[in-house]
Amino acid sequence: REQVQVAGSSTVLPYSTIVAELFGENTDFGTPVIESGGSSTGLRRFCEGVGENTIDIANSSRQIRDSEVEECAANGVTDIMEVRIGYDGIVFASAQSGASFAFTPADWFNALSAKVVRDGAIVDNTAASWAEVNPELADQEILAFVPGTRHGTREVFDEKVIAQGCEDSGALEVFTAELGEEEAEAACMTLRTDGRSVDIDGDYTETLARIGSSPNGIGVFGLSFYENNMDTLQVATMSGVTPSTETIASGEYPVSRPLFIYVKKAHIGVIPGVKEFAEFFVSDAIAGPDGPLAAYGLVSDPELASVQQAVADETTMQ
C-alpha cells in the first residue's frame, strides 16, 4: 500500500484532509486517504486487526472507550498511540436576519428540557418563546436544531450545556430530591419532543439549510463551520463569552471538546508514512496557533509540545 489510510469522525475529517493535502504536497509519501463515516466506524475499522487491509489511523471526536480498547486487543491491535490534535469549539448560531442572543446554559436547559422546575415543582416544559425562558432574551419562537444522538457533539451539548444548565438553574436539586440521583440525571438530559427541539442526524450543512427554511431556528455548529459561514450566521455568546479559538483555548468559553487521532503502532515502519504523517499532523507549522488548522477553526492544543514528544517517542496507551 502506498498511502496511509485514515478513517473516522466527520468532525476531524476536514482537519485531516487539510493535513493530508499538505503532507502529500510536501513529502515523498502519497497523500493519505481519509475516509469519513463517524468515530464509531473509524475505530471499528481500526480495531479490526493488523494488516494491509486495515486502516492505520482512526479519527475520533471522542476518546476511545475501554470496551473498544478491549475489542482492539482481542483482534490483535494492542499498541495504540493516542494523539490529541486540538479542540473543537461548539457554538450556537442563528440567522443573520434574526435577533442576536446571549445565552447561559440555564437558558438552554429551561428552553429544551422535557421537564422543568417552575415554582419548585416539576412541570412539563411549555415555553414557546425565548423570552418566556429568560426575559432578557429576544421574544423569538423556540426552535433549536441540536445534533442528533449519533453525533459526538450531542454528548458535549448534553453535558456542558444542558446538564450544566440543569445544575445552574437549580433544577438538578429538585430532580434529585424528587426522583433520586440517577433518575435526576436522566431527567435533566431528556429533551422535549414537541418539535421545539429538532434532532439533526445530518451534518452542519443540514442545520444551516434548516435555519434557511426556518429563520427562527437556532442551531448548534462547530466553530470552524461558523467561521466559514459568518456571512449568513450570527453567533450567540455563552455566559457572556464570544466563542473564538482564543477564548476556547483559554478555557473562557465552556463548550468545547478534544479531538483525537489514534495511530496503530504496529503499522509504523510497515506502511510508509504513518509516523511521519502523525508527526506532520501535530507539528507546529500545522497544528500550532498560526498553522492552517487554526486558521480553519481548530483550537490549538496548549500542550502541543508534549503531544509532539509523545508521537516522536511512539508512546502508546496503557
Partner 1 sequence: MTDHPRATGAKSLYVQDARTRRRNAAEKRFRAYGLTAIVIACTMLAVLVFTIVRDGSGAFRQTYLSIPVALDAQVLDPKGNRDPAEMAGVLTLSYGQVLDRALDAAVAGLDLQIEGLESGDIDGLISRDASAQLRDRVLADPDLVGQTVDVNVLANGRIDGYFKGRVTMETAARDANTSPAQLMLADELVKAGLLVTRFNAGFLTAADASDQRPEAAGVGVAILGSLYMMLVVLVLAVPIGVAASIYLEEFAPRSRWTDLIEVNIANLAAVPSIVFGILGLAVFINFAGLPASAPIVGGLVLTLMTLPTIIIATRAALKAVPPSIRDAALGVGASRMQTVFHHVLPLAAPGILTGTIIGLAQALGETAPLLLIGMVAFVREFPAAPPEGLFDPASALPVQVYNWTQRSDPAFVERASGAIIVLLIFLLCMNLLAIFLRRKFERRW
Partner 2 sequence: MPMSWALLAAILLAVAGFLLGRSRAHATAAQDVRTLHSRPAYHGMNAALAVMLPALVVLILASGLRMSGVIPVASGPVAGLLALAAAVAGLGWAVTRAGRGFRARNSVERMVLGLMIFCSMIAIATTIGIVLSLIFETISFFRQYSLADFFFSTVWSPRFEGNSRLGMLPLLWGTLYISFIALLVAVPIGLLAAIYLSEYASPRLRSIAKPAVEVLAGIPTIVYGLFALVTVGPMLRDWIAQPLGLGNSGSSVMTAGLVMGIMLIPFVSSLSDDIINAVPQSLRDGALGLGSTPSETVRSVVLPAALPGIVGAILLAASRAIGETMIVVLGAGAAATISANPFEAMTTITVKIVSQLTGDNDFSSPETLVAFALGLTLFVITLGLNVIALIIVRKYREQYE
Kindly list the residues in this chain that would bind partner 1 in the complex (CB under 8 A): 1-3, 5, 7, 10, 13-14, 16-18, 20-22, 24-26, 28, 30-31, 33-37, 41, 45, 48, 52-53, 55, 96, 203-205, 222, 224-225, 227-232, 285, 292, 295-296
For cell 489511523, what's the residue? Answer: 57
DSSP string, 197-250: EEEE-S-HHHHHHHHHHSTT-EEEEEHHHHHHTTTTEEEPEETTB---HHHHHT
- Nearest distance from C-beta of residue 291 to partner 2, angstroms: 25
- Calpha distance 209→27 (Å, rounded): 38
Partner interacting with residue 78 (select from partner 1, partner 2, none; CB below 5-8 Å by kind): none
* Partner whose binding site includes residue 118, from partner 1, partner 2, none (CB under 5 to 8 Å by kind): none
CA 269 – CA 248 distance, rounded (Å): 36
Strand 33-35 and strand 5-8: pairing?
Answer: parallel
What's the angle, vertex CA 28, arms to CA 56 and CA 275, rounded to 5?
30
Indicate which of partner 2, partner 1, none lies near residue 148 (CB less than 5 to 8 Å, by partner kind): partner 2
Q: Output the CA–CA distances (angstroms, integers) from residue 79 to 76, 195, 204, 276, 314, in the order listed.
A: 9, 46, 34, 17, 9
- Measured between its terminal Cα atoms, the distance across the chain in Å is 29
Give the one entry of partner 1, partner 2, none that residue 158 binds, where binding means its C-beta sits below a cut-off of 5 to 8 angstroms depending on kind.
Answer: partner 2
The listed partner (partner 1, partner 2, none) that binds 190, CB under 5 to 8 Å by sort, is: partner 2
What are 157's three cell numbers?
A: 451539548
The DSSP element (H or E) to which 35 belongs, if any, is: strand 33-35
Closer of 176 and 242 to partner 2 (Cβ): 176
Smallest gap from Cβ 59 to partner 2, in A, equals 10
Q: How far is the CB of 134 from partner 1 (least distance, A)?
A: 26
Task: Check if the beta carbon of residue 221 is closer than 8 Å to that of residue 233.
Answer: yes
Decide whether 17 or 63 has the Cβ nearer to partner 1.
Answer: 17
Q: How far is the CB of 122 from partner 1 (least distance, A)?
A: 39
Residue 173 touches which of partner 2, partner 1, none (CB < 5 to 8 A by kind)? none
Distance from C-alpha of 297 to C-alpha of 172, rounded to nearest angstrom: 34
Rounded Cα distance between 14 and 239, Å, is: 29
CB of 17 to partner 1, least distance (A): 4
Q: Please say which residue, 87 or 109, places its beta carbon nearer to partner 1.
A: 87
Residue with smaller CB distance to partner 2, 45 or 275 = 45
* Partner whose binding site includes residue 203, from partner 1, partner 2, none (CB under 5 to 8 Å by kind): partner 1
Indicate the residue among 213 and 318 with the shorter CB distance to partner 1.
Answer: 213
